[in-house]
Amino acid sequence: MPDGTTVDYDGLIPNNVGLSDDLRVRRALETWHPGYIDWWRQMGPEGFQERLVYLRTAVGVGSEGWAKFGFVRMPEYRWGVLLAPAVEDRKIGFGAHKGEPAWQDVPGEYRAMLRRLLVIQGDTEPASVEQQRHLGATAPSQYDMRNLFQVNVEEGRHLWAMVYLLQKYFGRDGREEAEELLRRRSGDQDSPRMLGAFNEATPDWLSFFMFTFFTDRDGKMQLAALAQSGFDPLSRTCRFMLTEEAHHMFVGETGVQRIVQRTCEAMRDAGIDDPTDVERVRALGVIDLPTLQKKANLHFSLTLDLFGNEISTNAANAFNAGLKGRFREDKLTDDHVLVGATYPVLRLRDGMIMREDVPALSALNMRLRDDFVDDASAGVTRWNRVLERAGLEFRLRLPHVAFNRRIGEFAAIHADVDGNLLSEEQWRTRQGSLLPSAADNEFVISLMQPAQAPGAFASWIAPPRIGIDNKPGNFEYVKIEA
Ligand SMILES: [Fe+2]
Ligand SMILES: [Fe+2]
């Protein structure tokens, strides 16, 4: 029996779930594997598949030393099935089954709901790889290119994680869902990915950093809620995914931070102290701060849509069933059942945005969204320290949750970044100052000149403080001349 902390690397699929003794699931995964590799070659990073990339691979699931670094060609990456160690005598922590032993098998009454949760989470993982597949060619440095590819292979592994659960616990319909996960394509007219933000283009590196900062953070929140699940294999799966996800947050947060830093330096060197003097700032080959704010507005609002409707019976059902908890459920001190409890939610009432207490169970999406906003705000505060240190008064901020929404209460209205309602006409005139315009996007794209020599960086981004795996600044993370 696997002890749950060491990973078996002998077979085709590295794992710590005892695949060598589980013939049925091993066969199912081995049958799925060629389709996955086809998908990776077609839809994974374009142009660098044969290059050696300095990547980390999980070799254990303990809290320390779980990854090792080495040069790998991406299609040869060892995508595996890794679960965090089991917690002895784990109990369901919330909902109607609170206190009962955690399920090691799918509870029959919740089978459909659980499958749906796995499929929705699973669908986002390959989607982001597809969205980011053209970015290698314009990477602003080898360091960034390597981080992109690291995120990509790990999203691929997250797909494996969900597919394992489908194959192991759902038999035939699980296998069908696993095939469908390889068939849908981000942005495809006929067979798009399931959620809106995962069908948007990621055409440039600023979009990539904003995506990893905001949209991967939605992933983090969803995984954290599923890590609380009473279905123990899902909980263990998500707990391990969260260790990898932390790097994705890091890539997004430090990516934007380095852009802010570079802009500040260039402005200082040129003696520009008005950040809104966009033309002069852009002439320096850096991204002006108002454009960064507009990009943040866009990605924040797209990501909020992923949390779904303000009032949701699905969310209530998943909680009651013990399948999906709240963020850090095990650290919360209420009764974890929430019958009769209320939660304040912003709603549209008589054409005004009002706070309203609603049953806490039906507001679980909003609670998770609020936790997301707090988590993202902390990152924005760290970006602003760079501006503060540079002596600028400009600050980045998150827009109001009613701004630019397509799902939920606020899809019906227009609001500015402070939550003031705008008429259709006001929205049309102000949109260009709140969201990136075509000209803003063109400018950003014009900066996307690759910097491929070891230690070189594009004009618009500062080098990182420390290399990956403590490597020096001129380390060759991707062997471009293969
Ligand atoms: Fe992921
Ligand atoms: Fe991620």
Could you read off the pLDDT of 53-63 as tens digits, one per residue?
999 998 888 76
Numbers of helices and strands, H then E, in the chain: 12, 7
CA-nearest of 462, 431, 419 to 140 is 462
- The mean pLDDT value for 49-78 works out to 90
d(CA 121, ligand 2 centre) in Å? 11
Total length of the chain = 482
* 212 φ/ψ sector (left φ>0, alpha ψ -120 to 50, else beta): alpha
Residue 73 bridge partners (DSSP): 52
Match 């206190």 to its residue by tokens: 99
CB 30 within 8 A of CB 82: no
Contacts 24+ apart (CB under 8 A), 189-193: 193/123, 193/124, 193/127, 193/130
Determine the distance separating the centroid of ligand 2 and the alpha carbon of 408, expressed in angstroms.
24
CA 78, distance to chain mean position in Å, is 21
**CA 198 – CA 122 distance, rounded (Å):** 12
Between the CA of 249 and the centroid of ligand 1 the distance, in Å, is 11
Q: What is the mean pLDDT of residues 411-436?
A: 96
* Mean pLDDT in residue range 155-159: 97
d(CA 82, CA 85): 9
Q: State the Cα–Cα distance between residues 130 and 197, nearest whole angstrom.
A: 12
- What does the block give as tokens for 251? 């890539």
pLDDT, tens digit, for every residue of 220-239?
A: 999 999 999 999 999 999 99
What gap in Å lies between CA 474 and CA 466, rounded to an integer?
11
Q: How far is the CA of 12 from the centre of ligand 1 (A)?
A: 22
Burial class (CB in 10 A: 0-12, 13-18, 19+), 305: buried
Ligand nearest to the CA of 159: 1
Cα 93 to ligand 2 centre (Å): 26
Please report which ligand is nearest the Cα atom of 217: 2
What's the pLDDT tens digit per position in 113-130? 999 999 999 999 999 999
In the numeric block, the tokens 């660098």 are attached to 48
Per-residue confidence (pLDDT) for residue 482, from 0 to 100: 61
Nearest alpha carbon to residue 216 among 322, 297, 135, 132: 132
| Dist. CA 246 → ligand 2 center (Å) | 8
3 state DSSP class of 69: strand
Over residues 298-304, mean pLDDT: 97
User: pLDDT band for position 64 (50/70/90)?
Assistant: low
- Residue given tokens 């827009």 in the structure block: 399
Residue range 249-294, pLDDT digits in tens: 999 999 999 999 999 999 999 999 999 999 999 999 999 999 999 9
State the distance from the centre of ligand 1 to the C-alpha of 287, rounded, in angstroms. 28
Closest ligand to the CA of 123 = 1
**Cα(482)–Cα(478) distance, integer angstroms:** 9
Strands 342-349 and 52-58: unpaired
Amino acid at 283: A
Q: Cα–Cα distance between 206 and 202 in angstroms, integer?
A: 9
Q: Which residues are within 8 A (CB) of 67 and not within 5 positions of it... i.e. 6 or more apart?
A: 56, 57, 58, 59
List CB-based neighbours of ion ligand 2 within 5 Å: 216, 219, 248
153 CA → ligand 1 middle, Å: 10
Residue 223: closest CA among 125, 130, 361: 125
pLDDT computed for residue 9 by the predictor: 87
Is residue 2 predicted with pLDDT exceeding 70?
no
H or E segment and range at residue 355 = strand 352-359
CA 402 – CA 425 distance, rounded (Å): 17
Measure 156 CA to ligand 2 centroid, in angstroms.
10
Residues with Cβ within 5 Å of ion ligand 1? 125, 155, 158, 219
Alpha carbon separation from 101 to 92, 143, 329 (Å, rounded): 6, 45, 17
| pLDDT at 59 (0 to 100) | 83
Ligand 1 centroid distance, CA of 238 (Å) = 10
- CA distances 333 to 94, 337, 382, Å, are 11, 11, 29
pLDDT, tens digit, 9 for 90 and up, residues 363-380? 999 999 999 999 999 999
Sign of CA dihedral 331, 333, 336, 339: negative
- The predicted structure's pLDDT at residue 310: 95
Ligand 1 centroid distance, CA of 158 (Å): 5
Residue 412 CA, ligand 2 centroid: distance in Å: 30
Ligand lying nearest the CA atom of residue 125: 1
- Ligand nearest the Cα atom of residue 212: 2
Strand, helix or coil for residue 354: strand
Task: Give distance in angstroms: CA of 424 to centre of ligand 2.
Answer: 36
DSSP string, 283-347: TTTS--HHHHHHHHHHHHHHHHGGG--SS-HHHHHHHHTTSS--TTGGG--S-SS-TT-EEEEEE
CB count within 10 Å of CB 347 equals 17
Cα(242) to centroid of ligand 1, in Å? 8
Spatial CA neighbour of 55 closest among 194, 148, 166, 130: 148
Q: 219 CA to middle of ligand 1, Å?
A: 6
pLDDT digits 0-9 by tens, 177-206: 999 999 999 999 999 999 999 999 899 999
Burial class (CB in 10 A: 0-12, 13-18, 19+), 14: buried
Would you say the C-alpha torsion 257, 259, 265, 267 has a positive or negative sign? negative
Report how far ligand 1's centroid is from the alpha carbon of 429 (Å).
Answer: 37
Query: Which ligand is in closest contact with the Cα of 156?
Result: 1
Q: Ligand 2: distance of its center to the CA of 347 in Å?
A: 30
Residue 57 parent element (H or E): strand 52-58
Q: What is the average pLDDT value for the chain, to the nearest integer? A: 96
Q: How far is CA 21 from CA 15, 160, 439, in A?
A: 12, 19, 58
pLDDT in the model for residue 317: 97
Ligand 2 centroid–CA 83 distance in Å is: 17
Which ligand has an atom closest to residue 247 CA?
A: 2
Q: How many angstroms separate the alpha carbon of residue 198 from the centre of ligand 1? A: 12
